[in-house]
Amino acid sequence: MNILVINAGSSSLKYQLYNMKTEDVLAKGRVERIGMDSSILTHEVDHQPEVREVSEILDHTTAIKKVLDMLTHKKFGVLRNIQDIQAVGHRVVHGGETFSRSVLVDQNVKLEIRKLFDLAPLHNPAHMMGIAAVEANLPDVPQAVVFDTAFHQTMPPSSFMYAIPTVLYRKHKIRRYGFHGTSHDYVSKSAAEFLERPLEELKLITCHIGNGASCAAILNGKSFDTSMGMTPLEGLMMGTRSGDLDPAVVPFTINKEELTLNEVNSMLNKHSGLLAISGISSDMREIVESMNEGNEKAKLAFEMYAYRIRKYIGAYIAAMDGVDAIIFTAGVGENSDALRKEVCKGLTFFGVRLEEQRNAVRSSQPRRITTDDSVVSVLVVPTNEELLIARDTYQLVLERPADEAESP
């Protein structure tokens, strides 16, 4: 079975085509600048150079059409025709309290995702456009949705409630949801396999440090707490997001700077984090480079970023009354040995002993970066959100009742 995995954003759409028999990625790519004057489609087939096509792609339906054209292209394609795609899996950022697992798309699921637009105004409407675009282009193909929030639905109320009037939870479902669940789920399972121990017996702290970043405390295989909140703004300092701050900063800034709520929201989401403190970039590679050249602002940004991760690790050790392993994953977590070293240097009290040479190794495999006698293991485990989406989609399609399978 071939499964197309889609991560639709408001102006972009990333895709990967899987052959589920082998779990090989047959092709992958992205469409950027949807709805703008010159959109770019970048397409990559295993070991082949990238194909870039610039044209006008006004909406998601056209974007999907272009992707399907590329997948069946005479020269760059990998499929004979689009009927060779048997299912589509979508990443959906917010599933609220409605979804604690992945589901097949039907009218009711679409309605529920729509109800959650308020909780994720930047993400969920874009995902719905992706679902509608697939319906328009592949009307007979079953679709599944895999939620970033689902894995965290096991958190107890003491982790997910905010200490504000409970009427706000009852009326508007204001609470911590947490995100990157697909990744926290995937790497915690991978880590247990690597450690050759049952996941149900482990206390793990997973640090998904990419463009967006979050930590999770995973107790006996279940999410117990996580740093992102009602939206992906809370918690760690990120590329362009502030992470935790005193909520009083918001009204104060609005008054002093005569800004609107929308402007402050945009400031906290798009103009804060590494970018704001360094004044250089939101990209950790550039921060480390500038820091090594002696740039003090880059150094401060780097130190703040690492310090926040270390504080969350400390908090989650207390939350779980111990930890067996700490896991780094995603773009920064997998690739920046400098960041991992900075985080771990404050964890010696807990028995973390980093092994510098192991930390410097580059590999796409899970690996240990602490000494053999370190009380707590620190691992680098590459994440693969798309593969988990493909696996969930595959499972759901296989489990479909026969009558539904005939007429999706």
Ligand X SMILES: CC(=O)OP(=O)(O)O
Ligand Y SMILES: Nc1ncnc2c1ncn2[C@@H]1O[C@H](COP(=O)(O)OP(=O)(O)O)[C@@H](O)[C@H]1O
Q: Which residues are annotated as a binding site for Mg(2+)?
A: 7, 385
Nearest one of 8, 3, 11 to 27, comparing CA atoms: 3
Q: How far is the CB of 210 from ligand X (least distance, A)?
A: 5
Give 96 or 181: the residue with its C-beta nearer to Mg ion. Answer: 181
Residue 379, contacted partner among ligand X, Mg ion, ligand Y, none, CB below 5-8 A by kind = none
Q: How far is the CB of 235 from Mg ion (least distance, A)?
A: 15
93 makes contact with ligand X (CB under 6 A): yes
Residue 148 falls in the annotated catalytic set:
yes
289 makes contact with ligand Y (CB under 6 A): no
Q: Which residues are annotated as a binding site for ATP?
A: 14, 208-212, 283-285, 331-335
From the list 34-42, 243-251, 254-262, 325-333, the region that binds ligand Y by CB under 6 A is 325-333
212 makes contact with ligand Y (CB under 6 A): yes
Give 26 or 238: the residue with its C-beta nearer to ligand X. Answer: 238
220 makes contact with ligand X (CB under 6 A): no
**Of these residues, 24, 37, 46, 148, which one is catalytic?**
148
Binding mask 202-221 for Mg ion (x = CB under 5 A): --------x-----------
Residues 6 or more apart from 103 whose CB is under 8 A from it?
109, 144, 145, 396
Q: Which residues are annotated as a binding site?
A: 7, 14, 91, 208-212, 283-285, 331-335, 385
Sheet with 13-19, side-by-side order of all strands: 51-55, 39-45, 24-32, 13-19, 2-8, 87-92, 143-147, 103-104
Binding site for ligand X (CB under 6 A): 93, 148, 179-180, 210-212, 232
